Structure 1
């Protein structure tokens, strides 16, 4: 299958991404995040996990754009989901439109029925570009923050529930718990390798600050924590409770355990993402979290 190459401004050139580009991709994304959020929100582990997505073929499904001096100016990938990032110094030159068009053509070439992409609501230029290409809002996502000037209190667990940190060997059981809990809203179940690359095998994963809830030896809830390099705050990558054990305060218990663990390590803020399909925004607000930023997940049906 021939590699699609979008038209680019004079002097810019493109090629597929490789594993050797992970650090450069992370540096690009970090600069985009600083511009959008005022701070870095990801790490090199996230870039590596994106390249390792099942079904994504880097040779045909990724593209890097370098400027005339050889510096990475933009990147894109597509595999049902898509991402396009243009360095702030290179915006306004048509790179975003070129790469967005490339993601759509590549998705059509691959026979994909629809693609989705997330953009910060504050990035009005990106929102306008997606709408101009026929994308429609799918869900709203919020980055929530819990500020900790004092050590957070931890409630007593419900009867029969115990809490402990994540241990080596917990991965498969927690993976099954998370997939079952997220079945009601996620598009597809993730295989263990894909899920682990974004969570428990990610270099930023912090098992001692990740809390698991058990009834006997059966896990009923999990809060999986990251401490991203170069940041001064903790992050919860996933929070999940078995559907038949909700409404008992388990999620609040796990959150408070994780917040306290971060506070005792000298961290004074903790964040997590949630979106409107989960119905969890009210829970997080009752725990004391506040909305820092919002984004929108946009969808475009390709009619294939």
Structure 2
């Protein structure tokens, strides 16, 4: 891949668009930052690959990597119209790389017609401080919550005739519709296409049928969906959604109990999920015994 100009880059470093072959290097940079900021790495290589394989995504025009020789030391990714991801190896922070990447992201987003660009980072991290210094405002706060090891959630009884099962290929469009309808009630973004959503779910490396679970009412209507997968020895609930006209009946709790049980059956010793202030669901998770393990902030700047 040919080098590219990245104004503000320190002497001795080079920049170029990324390719799918850079996924491991990008994951290494993200993981190194997370170890410093959170005490452990949360992002997986599978997460990076799944996001890059969305049909609507073009890696060559959406990314820039910063290299010190052959070592990838930082990257930026314009993952969506107003959504960016970045990371800089802790050993290379404080040299202006993050600032150069932020300015590249702003230019790239502006060229695509976006009026805002932002990203989510651990609260109080080096990235959080840099963004605040650059004028990025707070959009929302997010949390990772974990079910403590050994803690059991009392499973609510399913109504007679209700069923929980793995999704089949024939169920995928209905699952996508329910989840997107639920998330778009509070998320200010365009609807993900079925193809893009599928790349993150059944197209995610390592996907197994138990990762997508469906809850049906006694009448046979799809009323709830969970997407759960293993991240190392942890079960991560990436998505949980209940149809609007079936909320207030404890179905979210039912779905969580099932998701955590399936993850433990497949080797998870920890179970966790993420939520933010837009969804208003933190109290629901805390009531079943989950505890906050990390706090994140989503910051953005108007272009």
Question: Do these two structures clear the TM 0.5 threshold for a shared fold by scoring above it?
Answer: yes
CA deviations 1:184-239 (Å, max 9, x no partner) are: 112221001111122222124443254321023321101110112xx221101100
Q: Using structure 2 for the length normalisation, give the TM-score.
A: 0.91
Aligned to 1:116: 118
Aligned to 2:244: 243
C-alpha contact (below 8 Å) 1:152/1:259 kept by paired residues: no
Aligned to 2:129: 128
CA deviations 1:122-146 (Å, max 9, x no partner) are: 30x3222212222111111110101
Range 32-41 or range 281-290, more displaced: 32-41
The 1-side partners of 2:266 and 2:61 are apart by 43
1:224 aligns with 2:221: no
The 2-side partners of 1:29 and 1:283 are apart by 30
Range 184-193 or range 149-158, more displaced: 149-158
C-alpha contact (below 8 Å) 2:49/2:205 kept by paired residues: no
Structure 2, unpaired ranges of 5+? none
Q: Secondary structure at the match of 1:227?
A: strand
The 2-side partners of 1:217 and 1:301 are apart by 46
Structure 1, unpaired ranges of 5+? none
Aligned to 2:58: 57
How has the CA–CA distance of structure 1 residues 243 and 115 changed in structure 2, closer, same or farther, with 3 Å as cutoff?
same
Q: Using structure 1 for the length normalisation, give the TM-score.
A: 0.90
Q: Secondary structure at the match of 1:260?
A: helix
The 1-side partners of 2:191 and 2:223 are apart by 18
Aligned mate of 1:214, from 203, 213, 216: 216
The 1-side partners of 2:234 and 2:292 are apart by 15
The 1-side partners of 2:58 and 2:226 are apart by 31
Q: How many residues align?
A: 297
C-alpha contact (below 8 Å) 2:153/2:288 kept by paired residues: no
C-alpha contact (below 8 Å) 2:229/2:235 kept by paired residues: yes
The 1-side partners of 2:134 and 2:41 are apart by 28
How has the CA–CA distance of structure 1 residues 180 and 160 changed in structure 2, closer, same or farther, with 3 Å as cutoff?
farther
C-alpha contact (below 8 Å) 1:210/1:258 kept by paired residues: no
